[in-house]
Every structure is written in C-alpha cells, then in structure tokens.
Amino acid sequence: MSPLFTPLKPVAPALRTVLGIACFVLFFLGWGIATYGGFVKPLFLASPGDTLTAGIALFREFGFAEDIAVTVWRVFAGFVMAAALAVPLGILMGAFKPVEAFFEAFVSFARYLPASAFIPLLILWAGVGELQKILVIFIGSVFQLIIMVTVIVSGIRSDLVEAAYTLGAKRDGVVLRVLLPAASPQIFEALRLVLGWAWTYVIVAELVGASRGIGHMIIDAQRFLDTGQMIFGIFIIGVIGLITDLLFRALNARLFPWAKGR
Amino acid sequence: MSKLSIRNVEKTFPGRNSTAPTRALVPTSLEVADNDFITILGPSGCGKSTLLRIVAGLETPTAGEVLLEGKAVSGPGPDRGMVFQSYTLFPWLTVRDNVCFGLRERGLPRAEQLAIADRFLAQVGLKGFENHHPAQLSGGMQQRTALARALANDPKMLLLDEPFGALDHQTRELMQELLLGIWEADRKTVMFVTHDIDEAIFMASRVVVMSARPGRIKCDIPIDLPHPRSYKVKTTPEFAAYKERLTEEIRVETIKAVTMER
C-alpha cells in the first residue's frame, strides 16, 4: 500500500494545497470539456468563458454588487438575530436541566419545520419586505443552533465544574466562568456551520417575492434563459461562503488559541 | 476536637436499567486530627474515592454525616481544596489565572490575587511558567499547578484523589516529595487517596486501609517515621516493615475484589 494512503496519516502542507487546487482545476476542466466540446447545449449549461462574461455584464450593467450587498445583509441580520437568541438559550438549556426539559421537545419539533415552507405564511405576516427574508433565515437557523449549543454545553467535562465548586465558585460563577468559556470554541464552530445553512435559506427566500438580491437575480436570469448569469450567481454564493468560512476559522484560531488541536 | 469527623457515612448508588444498586460504602466512621496527613489506601473500586468525594461535598452520602470543625458539610466549598486524578486546570486560563480562580470567585482585589498566586506558584516550582496555558505543560506541571490552585484558597483541608496516578513513576516520586515538603512546612490537614502502598506510607502520618466492595475501613495504621522525611526513608527497615504489613492487607482485598468481578 502506498505510504500516502495510510489511514489518518497527515499530508504535507504543500501537497495539501496542490491537491485542493487540483480539485478545482479538474472541476473547471470537466466543465470546459462538456461545454466547449459541444456535449451540452449552451442553453442548459454555459461555458466557463460565457459565465465569466455574463458575470462581468452583471456587475457592469445590472448593479450585481448591490444584489450581493443586500443578500449579505439579509444573511447577516437573520443570522445575528438567531445567534442572539439561540446562544444564551442553548447555554441555559445545557446548564439547567429543567430549562432543557421545558424547551427540548418543542425545539426538536420546530427544528424539522422547513424554513422554506414558512415563506407563504411569512409573506402574509410580514409582507415581501426585508423582515420576511430575515425571518426565513432566522427560523431556519435558530432551532438548529439552540440544539447544537445545548449539546455542546451539556458535554462540558463535569470534572472542570467540580473543580470550580471546590474552589468556591457558586452557580453563576460556574455558568459564566466555566461553562461559557469552555464551550466558546465549539459554539463558534457551530455558528460557522449554521451560517452555511443560512445561505441556502436566503436564496430560497429571494426566489419568491424579492426585488433585489442574488436569489432574485437568478430567478430573473431564468426568465431570459441566461444560464451564464444563473451559474455565475450560484458561483458567487460559493465564493462568499468560502470567504466567510475562512474568516470564521481565522477568528476562531485568534480568539481561542488554547483550544488548538483539540 | 477532630478537624474532620466522618460519622456512619454510607453510600449506595442506585441501579440503572433494573440492575441492582451498588453499595459503595458501608457505614464508615473516621476522625482526622488537625495537621494530620492521612492516606486512604485500597484496591480500585473499594469506595475510597467515594469517601473523599463525600468529604468534598461532591457526593451526598446515603446516610451519615461529615463534620468539618464541628460544622456539617452540605456541599462543595473552598474550605476543602481538592486535587483530582484527571487534569482539571481550566484550559482557557493561564497557569497564573488558574491559581487565581478561587481568589477571584471570592472577590479579592486583582493585585492581591496575583501576589498570592505567584507565591504558591513559586512554592510548587513553577516560577517562569505563569503565562503558559495548561496544554503547554507536562502532566506533572499541570498537577503542581492544580496543587497551587487548591492551596491558594488557604483551605482548612486538602483533599487529593490519586493526584499523581496518571504520572510516570519518577515524576510521581518527585511530586510526593514536593507535597510532603509543603505539608512539613505548614502542616495543613491532608486526606490523600491512593492505591500505591509506597506513596501511602511515605507521606502519611496515618494510613487507613479500605476493604474491597462494599468499602469499609479495614485498619488504621499510624506511620511513625521521623520528619523531615527524605526519599531515602523508603529504603529503611522501618519503611520495609510497614510495607510488608500493608502489602498483606491490600493483597487479601485485591484478591477478593478480583474474584468478585468474575
């Protein structure tokens, strides 16, 4: 067996980068062969070149930068609202079992309600304005996040809590100065994951009853059968997702250096 | 009056999923005098840790009571400092802030916290490591920090639950000398749980032997070796005589414990 493929054996950083880029190269290569080779009709799949041209036109002529800004703002607003409720509630549920017993069944139920199914109702309640889009993201993220934070806090090592008690910590001290800092790196990681899901909800919200945003642009492009624009829009979402992911990772490493390698 | 009175304390853990309840401790009484260093010696699963955890207030006895200086123990508190077998330093705090933890919970001014922390860190030989995080320390250094953290609170008693159990043999012996030196300097009352016979004799003024499950006190042997004790005491005939006797006592219990498990 090749020594490269020993289970759990790490790869060298340089090789890691090369392999990561190679996957993208292969992806574009396959895309290029399928389109330039004439295997797929341009109506169904635009070539990489046409997609890029469409993207440039979007920025130059259709104010796509503004669409991106609007979508980013919606994700941010909905996500911050969800986090502002879910993180404290999750910590309380993790720390205090009666609170968990009260909310757990309901949250587990609500978690399975698809956020997109709420869109018609939300339009009825909140119209087709910003609030409705933000609420879709909020509903889609908040219940997942509550459960994740609860599980994280429940899983904090009990011997750390016991040590704190023998050092004279009281209830509030244990929650604020043991459970909270101990859970922070993992809560941060949960936020990173849920932010990814928030991106899927915003596009769904923008496909219906929106006048701006990346999702709206994609629907608009569909009307004109402009596959280049559609693909470019989807592509941009991936790029923004990748950037926020990297930012979150960098921030996590910066804020919680002590948790490195756990 | 004794420093610590354990009066007819017993503990039965309830059975789970229709298994029989486990009787960890039959009614047990023990008096610990002020300035005493007692080691509780017994095979694994004899209830010695349970007894210590009841004294710490981390476990409630099924019956009986524990009195510290005449006052009943109802929960964990800073008057009984504890060092655990597992590494329980708070990983997000520096060594210095770990030692400050109890002082901070008590609301001491920061300058005072730092002065006390640095004094105890010097006492356990960790000068120069104040700003390290626990993950950067060896196991022995982590347990020395944990010892400093417990001592910084100036507890009435020090409770140690096999604190050197996870360390290699050489480090463990050095740690024993360190702890004994600290005890010889200020004679704080210590209750130390171990299954290591040499460790039990070397540091103790009394060795309490516990029997296999259900735990009970089998014998109570005063150790009459002169202080200050150096590691050389371990090769004296007096030490060997204690060791021979305790080896016999423990052997019988271990055999009982092993046959019970079958």
Q: Indicate the pLDDT class of residue A10, thresholds 50, 70 and 90.
A: confident
Tell me, yes or no, if B76 comes closer than 8 A to chain A by beta carbon.
yes
Interchain CB distance below 8 Å, A259 and B106: no
Going by DSSP bridges, is the β-strand pair B206-210/B217-222 parallel, antiparallel, or unpaired?
Answer: antiparallel
Q: What percent of chain A has pLDDT over 90?
A: 68
Domain that holds residue A29: 3-36
Say what the pLDDT of residue A117 is.
87
A182 with A216, same domain? yes
According to the model, what pLDDT value does residue B107 have? 94
> Does residue A81 share a domain with residue A32?
no
Whether residue A148 is found in the same domain as residue A252: yes
**B94-127: pLDDT as tens digits:** 999 999 999 999 999 999 999 999 999 999 999 9
Residues A141 and A18 in one domain: no
Q: What is the rounded average pLDDT for all residues in chain B?
A: 92
Q: What are the residue boundaries of the structural domains of chain B, listed by start?
A: 1-13+21-78+155-259, 87-153
One domain, residues A118 and A223: yes
CA distances to A147, A261, B140, B164, B198 from B169, rounded to whole Å, are: 44, 28, 11, 9, 11
Closest Cα in chain B to A255:
B92
Mutate to test the interface with B, among A157, A162, A165, A167 (most CBs of B within 10 A): A167
pLDDT at A99: 96
Helix H or strand E segment including A165: helix A158-166
The mean per-residue pLDDT over the stretch A66-87 comes to: 95
Instruction: Using the predicted structure, report yes or no on whether residue A1 has a pLDDT greater than 70.
Output: no
Q: Within this chain, do residues A18 and A119 fall inside the same structural domain, yes or no? A: no
Confidence at residue B117, expressed as pLDDT on a 0 to 100 scale = 96
Indicate whether A3 pLDDT > 90. Answer: no
In a mutational test of the B interface, the residue from A166, A179, A187 whose CB has the highest number of chain B CBs within 10 Å is A166
Q: Residue A166: which of B80, B90, B92 has the nearest Cβ?
A: B80
Please tell me if residue B132 touches chain A, with a CB cutoff of 8 Å.
no
Is A170's CB within 8 Å of B90's CB?
no
State the Cα–Cα distance between residues A22 and A2, nearest whole angstrom.
20
**pLDDT beyond 90 at B46:** no
Q: Say if A113 falls within a structural domain.
A: yes
CB proximity B163 to A under 8 Å: no
In whole angstroms, give the CA distance from residue A33 to residue A122. 44
Q: CA nearest A157 in B: which residue? A: B88
CB contact under 8 A, B150 and A168: no
**Structure confidence by residue, pLDDT tens digits, B150-190:** 999 999 999 999 999 989 999 999 999 999 999 999 899 99
**Of the candidates A162, A167, A178, which has its C-beta nearest B78's C-beta?**
A167
Say which CATH number the domain at A228 has. 1.10.3720.10
Nearest CB to A166 within list B76, B133, B134: B76
Asked whether residue A145 falls in the same domain as residue A245, the answer is yes
Comparing C-alpha atoms, which of B95, B183, B199, B186 is closest to residue B146? B95
Say yes or no: A27 and A115 in one domain.
no
Model pLDDT for residues A225-251, shown as the tens digit of each residue: 889 999 999 999 999 988 999 999 899
d(CA B233, CA B203) in angstroms, rounded, equals 11
Mean pLDDT: which of A108-112, B44-48, B252-256 is highest? A108-112
Please tell me if residue B138 touches chain A, with a CB cutoff of 8 Å.
Answer: no
At a CB cut-off of 8 Å and minimum separation 6, what does B230 contact?
Answer: B177
Answer whether residue A9 shows pLDDT above 80: yes
| Side chain identity, residue B48 | K
Percentage of residues in chain B with pLDDT exceeding 90? Answer: 80
pLDDT exceeds cutoff 80 at B23: yes
Nearest CA in chain B to A257: B92
Taking the CA of residue B243 and the nearest CA in chain A, the distance in Å comes to 33
Sheet of B71-72: strand order equals B22-32, B4-13, B63-68, B71-72
Cα A43 to its chain centre, rounded Å, is 30
Count structural domains, chain A.
Answer: 2
Eight-class DSSP state of B40? E
CB proximity B88 to A under 8 Å:
yes
Tens-place pLDDT, residues A168-200: 999 999 999 999 999 999 999 999 999 988 888
Would residue A42 count as lying in a domain? Answer: no
**Between chains, do B105 and A177 touch, taking CB under 8 Å as contact?**
yes
* Enclosing H/E stretch for A121: helix A119-126
Residue A41 included in any domain: no
Looking at B77-215, list the stretches that DSSP marks H as alpha helix, in order from N- to C-terminal side.
Answer: 95-106, 110-123, 139-152, 169-186, 197-203
Q: Is the pLDDT of residue B17 over 90?
A: no
Q: What is the pLDDT of residue A261?
A: 52
User: Which distant-in-sequence residues (6+ apart) come within 8 Å of B71 by Cβ?
Assistant: none
Q: Output the average pLDDT for chain A.
A: 91
Overall average pLDDT of the A7-12 stretch? 87
Quick: pLDDT tens for B187-239: 999 999 999 999 999 999 999 999 887 888 989 999 999 988 999 999 999 99
Residue A166 has pLDDT above 80, yes or no: yes
Domain for residue A138, yes or no?
A: yes
How many C-beta atoms lie closer than 10 Å to residue A104's C-beta? 15
- All residues of chain A having their beta carbon less than 8 Å from the beta carbon of residue B88 are 157, 159-160, 162-163
pLDDT band at A207 (very low <50, low <70, confident <90, very high): confident
Interface contact B78-A168, CB threshold 8 A = yes
Q: For residue A79, what pLDDT is reported?
A: 95
Q: Which of B105, B106, B135 sits opposite A258 (nearest CB)?
A: B135
Name A50's Cβ contacts closer than 8 Å, sequence gap at least 6.
A35, A42, A228
| A62/A156 same-domain check | yes
Q: Which of A18-22, A200-204, A257-261, B49-53 has the least mean pLDDT?
A: A257-261
In this prediction, residue B179 carries a pLDDT of 95
pLDDT at residue B58 is higher than 80: yes
Residues A150 and A20 in one domain: no
Helix (H/G/I), strand (E/B), else coil: B21: coil
CB contact under 8 A, B92 and A168: no
Please tell me the CATH code under which domain B1-13+21-78+155-259 is placed: 3.40.50.300
Q: Best interface-test mutation with A: which of B105, B131, B143, B191 has the largest number of A CBs within 10 A?
A: B105
With CA atoms as reference, the chain A residue closest to B99 would be A167
3 state DSSP class of A120: helix
Same domain, A70 and A151: yes
What is the ipTM score, two decimals?
A: 0.92
What contacts B68, CB < 8 A, 6 or more positions away? B3, B4, B79, B80, B156, B157
CA–CA dist A232, A227 (Å, integer): 8
* Residue A53 belongs to a domain: yes
Specify whether A29 is located in the same domain as A52: no
What is the predicted pLDDT for the residue at A194? 93
Q: Is residue A161 part of a domain?
A: yes
Q: Which of residues 27-66 of B touch A (CB under 8 A)?
A: 56-58
